[in-house]
Structure formats: C-alpha cells, structure tokens
Amino acid sequence: QGLKPLNSVIPTESPDLIFGTSKPFPGLPAADPFLGTNKVPDLQKVFQRSDGLPVHLKLGYPDRLLYRTTMALTIGGTIYCLVALFIASQPKKQ
C-alpha cells in the first residue's frame, strides 16, 4: 500500500468547469426567465439618494423595525449581563 509515486497522483487533464458556462441547464426551456428581472439599478437609485439616512435605514419601515429590535435586544442583553454580574458578585448569606 504505502505512498504512491507523485506522477500517478497529478491528473493529466484539468477537470471540466462546473460553473464555467453561460448556457442554461438542459432541462429548462430557453425562453423561461428563471432569474426574474434585474433589480440592481432600482436599488442603486434608492441607496445612492442623498436624504441624510444611513444605508441600513434606506428601505423604510422594515429596516427601522429590524434596527430598533436589534438595538433593544443589545441594550436589554447588556443590562441583563450587568445585573447578573452584580448579583453574582454579592457575598452569599449563610
């Protein structure tokens, strides 16, 4: 068994690329737009607008909701940890 010679391990040809072609999968019809429409130009207009909002709040209510929820959980977790540390540092009564 042991080690094999180095020349038997190196393949002589490079393997076929998996994602190297732009052709659609053979089972899909050619006219089927499976990727949908390109939304990048519309999103670029939204995010590049100079309205004074930070990028993470540009999409409106859902972004504000996620931001406020994240901030509430962060502040709540910090307070919880500080209270737990304070309680743990108190001497135990016997």
**C-alpha distances in Å from residue 33, one per residue of 28, 73, 87:** 10, 41, 60
pLDDT-derived band at 13, boundaries 50, 70, 90? confident
Q: Does 28 or 74 have the greater pLDDT score?
A: 74
Q: Does 61 or 94 have the greater pLDDT score?
A: 61
pLDDT digits (tens, 9 = 90+) for 57-73: 999 999 999 999 999 99
The DSSP code sequence of the chain is: --PPPHHHHS-SSPPPPSS---SPPTTS-TT--TT----HHHHHHHHH--SS--GGGTT-HHHHHHHHHHHHHHHHHHHHHHHHHHHHHSPPP-
Q: What is the set of domains in the chain, with CATH numbers? A: 52-93 (4.10.91.10)
Q: Does 94 or 52 have the greater pLDDT score?
A: 52
Output the pLDDT for position 34: 58
Which value, in Å, is the radius of gyration of the alpha carbons in the chain?
29
Mean pLDDT, to the nearest integer, of 36-51?
Answer: 88
